[in-house]
Amino acid sequence: MDADLTPEQQAEAERIYHVLRQSADADLRAMARLLAGKADADLLGAAEFAVRDRAHRIAAAALEAALNGRKKGGTTGRRGPARTAANPPSSSAGK
C-alpha cells in the first residue's frame, strides 16, 4: 500500500509519523497491558472492544495530525451578501 511520494509528501509523512508515535504511545502501552493481563478466554468481548476503542483513538489522531499539517483552505476576498429568507408562514399557519 506504500505509494511513491514526492520529497514534500515524504517530509509530511515523517511529520505525521512522529506526531503519531508520541500520541499513540500511551494507547499502545495501555493495549499491551490490557492484553497481557487477560486470560485466553477473556480476550474477546469487553477486552476486544477496549482494544478497538484504543485503535480507533489512534486512527482519529492520525487523521487529526494529517489535517493539522495542511494549510487552512478557506476563501479569499469579500463575502457576498446573504440570501434573503423565504416569506415566513402566517401566524395562522397550522390552525
Which letter, b or e, does each residue of 26-52 get, where b requires 16 or more Cβ atoms within 10 Å of its Cβ? ebeeebeeeeeebeeeeeeeebeeebe
* Residues of the chain above pLDDT 70, percent: 82
Asked if 20 and 59 count as a contact pair (C-beta separation under 8 A), the reply is no
Q: Can you give the pTM of this predicted structure?
A: 0.61
List, for residues 44-68, the tens digit of each pLDDT value. 999 999 999 999 999 999 999 889 8
> What are the residues whose beta carbons fall under 8 Å from the beta carbon of 36, sequence distance 6 or more?
none
pLDDT over 70 (residue 94): no
